[in-house]
Structure 1
Amino acid sequence: MSGMRIYGLSSGLDTELIIKQLMDLERAPIRKLQTRQGLVQVQKDVWKDINRRLVALDSKLIDLKLSGTYFSMKASSSQQGVFTAKATNAAIEASYEVKVLDLAQSHRVASTAGEVNFPLSGTFLINDIEINVENAASMTDIRNAINNTDNLEARAEVVDGRLILTHNLTGSENAFTFEHLGGDDILLELQIYDSIQGTPLYQELRAPLNARAEINGLIVERSTNVLKDVISGVEITLVGKSDTPGRLDISKDSARALNAVKTFIEQYNSVMDFVSGKLAANGDLRGDPTLIRIQGALRSVIFEKYVDGGALSNLLDVGISVNDEGGALSFSRSGKLVLNESTFLNVHQNNPEAVKDIFSGAGKFSDKLSTYVKSLVTNNTGLISSREKGLESTIKTFTGQIERYTQRLELREKQLNRQFTALERSLSQIQNQSNWLASQVNNLAGFDSLLR
């Protein structure tokens, strides 16, 4: 069989095992290169993970950058079943008495004809929108023609053989209007409207009505149940009538600012915890000077001064402390931040403007930290990106070295195979010669015995 080798027939040695052991010894440098390459790959993966965590950290700074985060207002109703409310940043702190007198409702009418002579084909207007009915064989066909008409602020349904029309818009100004245009007078046939006399024939199931509410003694009236322009920055939704007034309170909402800070802290701690672990004695980047500098920069930015001469000047004033005493935030030995919510809320409630001046604005905490993080993570130009490229180059260098060394070892293995094959052949020849000589000696001995 071509390429088949049988070792040790002449020497009695397991030459295949010998070659394997020799090659295993000669592969030691490759294993060292692979080990070093693996370590570099681990470092590259760690930097990639750090980059991902820092990108996430930068995203958590977005809300902290927005000035609106610190001036959120909230609205609360004492009668949720009567009215609800929400406030924007334009609202001011105040309290109101709200009594709902009437809810806005939409117009609803029904046809009054007992029997209808189908089929019907005709054109008519509902609220100045043209409806075209062709060869309607039933009330359902008329309903479908109405509901399939674009831009009609109304819907139709059939109940007990009668056509019911409901206006989509509430308010007394949104009553139904009808007009026959041509063909069969469908409006008259259904006993909805007499266009000649200008007389409604429908049954009014629900009258169009405006919403009416009494706010701090003043009666306001709107066409919808959502009052957007009664109190600046406040939207009130009426959901039920009331005999007694309820209380509407507009106050500062510190929850948004608090949640923004908590979200940032959670991600910041994730970064710092991960970095500390990788710099530890058993970490993958232990002693790495670049990562040590990044860790230091992330720590130092916490304590910088961001406002000169203000009521609050740095994060220390909103509670960041190195000794866990008296602050909303404290700096633990691991470099992680801890939040005392009650202290932060107190500071923010008393002076949201001053809190905003620390976190939000050019050169302030969020902007400065974000700028630094971007210098690390920006694709192609960021420090971490450059570090990853350098490590990738090292990995490729190792790959090239391993490939070249492997090629040399393949040649070496072939050489050893040739040498051991030659050895076996030589030993075989010697053995054959030895056997021949022994045979000759035996033959001579036999001849000598015959002569005697």
Structure 2
Amino acid sequence: MSDLSLGGLATGMDTESIINQLVQLEQRPIYNYQQEISELEQTKGAWRDINSRLDNLENKLTDLKLSSTYNSRTASSSNEDVVTATAANSANEANYDITVNQVATAQRLIGARKTSFSAAADDVITLNGTDINISTGDSLGDISSKINDADSGYSTSVINEVLVIEAEKTGVENALLDGSDGSTPTVSDNNGILKELGILDTTNGYFTNEKAATDAKVEINGITGITSSSNEITEAVDSMTFNINPEAAANSTATISVAKDAGKATKAVQAFVDQYNSVMDFMNSKSGYDSETEEGGILQGDGTVMRLQMRLRELVTSKVKDSGAYKTLTSLGIEIDRDGVMSFDSAKFTEALENSPEEVMSIFNAESDSDGYNGMAVRMDSYLNQLMQSNTGLIPRKLDFYDTRIDSLNDDIEDVQRKVEMTRQRYVDQFAAMEEAISEMQSQQSWMMSQLSSMGGSTVSSMM
């Protein structure tokens, strides 16, 4: 039957084409469902992008809520080849004249040149309480590797067949002791290998060739006696860390100046402004109408988008508090024009921050429990959290709705496809039956014509 239906051998009809046309009518719901899914996917994609941009906006609010953003200090050096510094937020605004009398260095022990060295016997080297096992036949490279792997606080290298041991930290307190000054030795061996390598004196065990460790010694504003085992000095001045250049010359000088750092707050505000504009511009593009292309955005007419934009704009334009010199973002140089674009006057903001840092900070991060009102960053962060909270937030619920609807439409498509296949098979069977019936009729007709022809020939012959 199927062969007849596919080719229309009996009727001469293109039955396959006819069946496809009939089935196409049955498939119309699928096209409608697919169109709806496409629109839902675009809408879901737009809301997913909005959610991502709002998440970035919420991240920008984090710095605006931190007191450290507004209280930061900057420390500059008149000569960074001598010393640099970092200042904590609590550091005083002041100048520090630094004289570097001596930099901190690490101890270095230099052995003797040993060509093609090979350990004659097993030994144990002890470096400040850490034992390193040396095996018979170990080369200089083997010994160096074993010391480096021991995590003893000392590293080694082999230079021109000379073993060099060096403390990993600077300062006298991190140096190995050989007892030559009456102290308890902190370096030893059991079988004399360090003496053989020229690290220890063969007679009395003292270091043969030592570059001694030194502590850093500085003067700060004329105060002497300041020392450190490292070139980082943290205890001399509260909230200050001075970093001495290890290459600084003896008795070199520099001045460290500590001042308020408006740059950190300015960058944080600018980052917020840029992200706010990005969010609003994207929502405008998805909900607006393009008169040139005469096409509307995928979210055109979506009331949720319009309410979201209105709320965000309200949060940045409304008055934060009722008293003081600075009550709004506008008073700090943050404004929104008639097109909804936010701008930032950093000079105006910096001036306000210098005049009243605590008040400027409160415009952003005040909290009602302690200040009686919430700052803009606190308010907006709370609002965005409600929007994007997993499972309960407005946007996640929207995305879940679209996913559920798309899944339902895909199920509908599968149902229609099953029905279409059943309909197609029914048409195939019907056309096959028709072809078979017509084929039988044609066969019967041919047989009858053959019989009639045969009868006609016999009559003529008998008459003759």
Residue 403 of structure 2 corresponds to which residue in structure 1? 392
CA distance in 1, matches of 2:122, 2:165: 19
* Cα distance in structure 1, aligned partners of 2:107 and 2:334: 60
Match for 1:224: what amino acid?
Answer: S
3-state SS in 2 of match to 1:392 = helix
Maintained 8 Å contact 2:60/2:271: yes
Assess if the C-alpha contact under 8 Å between 1:19 and 1:417 holds in 2.
yes
Shift in alpha-carbon separation, 1:70–1:4, aligned structure 2, 3 A: farther
Q: Is the 8 A contact 1:113 1:189 kept in 2?
A: no
| Alpha-carbon distance in structure 1 between the residues aligned to 2:42 and 2:387 | 19
Distance 1:174 1:433 in 2: 115
Task: Tell me how far apart the structure 2 counterparts of residues 384 and 61 of structure 1 sit (CA, whole Å).
Answer: 19
C-alpha change, 1:10 and 1:295, in structure 2 (3 Å) is same
> Relative to structure 2, which stretch is displaced further, 374-383 or 340-349?
340-349
Name which of 305, 310, 329 aligns with 2:319.
305
Deviations 1:352-372 (A, max 9, x none): 322221222433222222222
The correspondence of residues 269-280 of structure 1 with structure 2, limited to 5 A, is 269-280=277-288
Deviations 1:47-73 (A, max 9, x none): 222222222222222222222111111
With 377-386 and 28-37 compared, the bigger mean Cα shift is at 28-37
Distance in 2 separating the partners of 1:378 and 1:60: 17
Code of the aligned partner of 2:334: I
Shift of 1:160: 5.5
Note if contact 1:82-1:242 (Cα within 8 Å) is conserved in structure 2: no
The alignment partner of 1:93 has SS state of coil
When structure 1 is superposed on structure 2, of 281-290 and 244-253 the one drifting more is: 244-253
| Alpha carbons of structure 1 residues 342 and 420: separation in structure 2 relative to 1, 3 Å | same
Task: Identify which of 219, 222, 232 aligns with 1:226.
Answer: 232
How does 1:236-251 map onto structure 2 within 5 Å? 236-239=242-245, 240-241=248-249, 245-251=253-259
User: 1: distance between equivalents of 2:159 and 2:256?
Assistant: 41
User: The residue matched to 1:5 in structure 2 has which SS?
Assistant: helix
Q: What corresponds to 2:347 in structure 1?
A: 342
Change (3 A) 1:203 1:418: closer
**Alignment partner for residue 409 of structure 1, among 397, 420, 424?**
420
> 311-320 or 411-420: which moved more?
411-420
**Aligned-partner Cα distance in 1 for 2:168–2:454:** 127
Alpha carbons 1:10, 1:424 under 8 Å: kept: yes
Q: Point out the structure with the larger strand share.
A: 1
Say whether residues 1:365 and 2:373 are aligned partners. Answer: no
- Report the equivalent of 1:324: none
Deviation sequence 1:331-382 (CA, Å, 0-9, x none): 451x332333333333333333222212224332222222222222222221
Write the deviation string for residues 294-353 of structure 1: whole angstroms up to 9, x where unpaired.
2222221112333342332232221232xxxxxxxx3451x3323333333333333332
Amino acid at match of 2:376: F
User: Structure 1 pair 342/449, CA: closer, same or farther in 2 (3 Å)?
Assistant: farther
Deviation at 1:250, TM superposition (A): 0.9
Deviation, 1:273, is: 1.6
- For 1:401 and 1:55, how far apart are their aligned partners in 2? 35
Q: Matches of 1:161 and 1:441 in 2, distance apart?
A: 121
Partner of 2:181: none
Secondary structure class of the residue paired with 2:213? coil
Q: How big is the shift at 1:427?
A: 4.5
* Pairing 1:292–2:296 present: no
The number of residues matched between the two structures is 440
User: 1:352 aligned to 353, 357, 374, which one?
Assistant: 357
* Superposition deviation, residue 121 in structure 1: 4.8
The one-letter code of the counterpart of 1:231 is V
2:101 is the alignment partner of 1:101:
yes
1:200: how far off?
Answer: 3.1
**Residues 119, 138 of structure 1: 8 Å contact kept:** no
- CA shift, 1:36, in A, is 1.9
| Contact 2:4-2:435 within 8 A present in 1 as well | no
In structure 1, the residue corresponding to 2:107 is in which secondary structure?
strand
In the alignment, residue 47 of structure 2 is paired with which amino acid?
A: W
How far is the alpha carbon of 1:105 from its aligned partner?
Answer: 1.9
Match of residue 325 from structure 1: none
Sequence identity percentage = 33
Q: Which runs of 5+ in 1 are unaligned?
A: 322-329
Distance 1:8 1:441 in 2: 28
- The 2-side partners of 1:4 and 1:426 are apart by 11
- Taking structure 1 as the reference length, the TM-score comes to 0.83
Given the alignment, which residue of 197, 216, 220 partners 1:215? 220
Structure 1 residues 320 and 425, CA, compared in 2 at 3 Å: closer, same or farther?
A: same
TM-aligned CA distance change 1:185 to 1:296, over 3 Å: same
Determine the structure 2 residue equivalent to 1:58: 58
- Which runs of structure 2 are paired with 1:14-413 in the superposition (5 Å)? 14-111=14-111, 119-123=120-124, 125-127=126-128, 129-130=130-131, 133-135=134-136, 143-144=144-145, 146-151=147-152, 153-159=153-159, 162-178=162-178, 179=185, 183-186=190-193, 200=206, 202-204=208-210, 206-219=211-224, 220-239=226-245, 240-241=248-249, 245-281=253-289, 282-321=296-335, 330-331=336-337, 333=339, 335-362=340-367, 363-413=374-424
RMSD: 3.6
Conservation of the 8 A alpha-carbon contact between 1:332 and 1:338: no
* Contact map agreement 1:112 1:201 (CA 8 A) in 2: no
Give me the whole-angstrom Cα distance separating, in 2, the residues matched to 1:117 and 1:439. 115
Instruction: State the Cα deviation string for residues 220-269 of structure 1 (Å, max 9, x = none).
Output: 33232111122222211111126663221111222222222222233322
Please tell me the residue identity of whatever aligns with 1:368.
R
How far 1:421 sits from its partner (Å)? 3.7
Give the drift of 1:443.
Answer: 7.3
Instruction: Report the alpha carbon displacement of residue 28 of structure 1 after superposing the two structures with TM.
Output: 2.4
Decide which moves more: 257-266 or 172-181: 172-181
- Three-state SS of the structure 1 residue aligned to 2:234 is strand
How big is the shift at 1:278? 1.3
1:210 maps to amino acid: D
Higher mean displacement: 125-134 or 372-381: 125-134
CA distance in structure 2 between the aligned counterparts of 1:371 and 1:288, rounded to whole angstroms: 23
Residues 55 and 192 (structure 1), Cα distance of their counterparts in 2 relative to 1, 3 Å cut: closer
Unpaired runs of at least 5, structure 2: 179-184, 290-295, 368-373
Cross-structure match for 1:326:
none
Partner SS, residue 106 of structure 1? coil
Distance 1:14 1:209, change over 3 A: closer
TM-score, normalised with respect to structure 2: 0.81
